[in-house]
Amino acid sequence: MRAFGDATRRNIAAACAAFARLPDAAESSALKRAAVVLALTPSTDGHDTAFLLTRRASSLRSHRGQWALPGGRCDAGETPVEAALRELDEELALRLPADSVLGLLDDYPTRSGYLITPVVVWAAESAAIVPNPDEVASVHRIALDTIERDDAFDFTDIPESTRRVIRFHHQMSLIHAPTAALIYQFREVLAGRQTRVTDLEQPVFAWK
């Protein structure tokens, strides 16, 4: 259990600082830049630390109804951190300053042509979250001890790829990469492990 407070913020910031991100890959110039947010908040009961996970609106053109971290494509001239904070505001009306950023995880290249930068932020003022119905069907607080369970993640094979598919088990649902891969790496960072996830595969339905 990680109580939501200054001590936990310092510990997670230190874990992020100790994590050595992979250098930019040569393939990154051909991919569209995007950013997602691991926004740390009080859990539903207000005691533990959680992160925000959304269900995408059914009206969206792509990946409708899927579980996702808040985020989206970087605008022209925008850094991943700027994009992450903007998207968090646009999707959940959660406006955070730049000093809320605790760190960045590895960029993850998707089959659909994006290079996603995960940005870890501390969202102390998250009581007034208002999901944008055009983008978000619902928002959920996932306690960190949920992703630290031994059975939270598993790996499977598919005939279309030699890479392992990662799956996050949540509320009778299976959440796949990229979301599952990014959450998994964050779990590993919290444990002090330098675990890479760029080789973890997405299911075929996410390749478009």
Q: Domain extents for the chain?
A: 6-206
Average pLDDT over residues 78-84: 97
* Superfamily holding 6-206: Nucleoside Triphosphate Pyrophosphohydrolase (3.90.79.10)
- Does the pLDDT value for residue 59 go beyond 70? no
Average pLDDT over residues 67-74: 94
Q: Tell me if 63 sits within 8 A of 178, measured CB to CB.
A: no
pLDDT of residue 165: 96
pTM: predicted TM-score of the whole model, two decimal places:
0.94
Positive or negative torsion for Cα 8, 198, 106, 42: negative
CA atoms within 13 A on the CB side of 108: 28
Reported confidence tier of residue 55, pLDDT bands at 50, 70, 90: confident
- Nearest alpha-carbon partner for 127 in 159, 94, 78, 100: 94
- Nearest alpha-carbon partner for 178 in 150, 157, 198: 198
Q: Dig out the tokens for 184 from the structure.
A: 């998994």
Distance CA 132, CA 92 (A): 6
Per-residue pLDDT tens over the stretch 89-140: 999 999 999 999 999 999 999 998 999 999 999 998 777 799 988 888 899 9
**Which residues contact residue 14 at a Cβ distance below 8 angstroms, ignoring those fewer than 6 apart?**
none
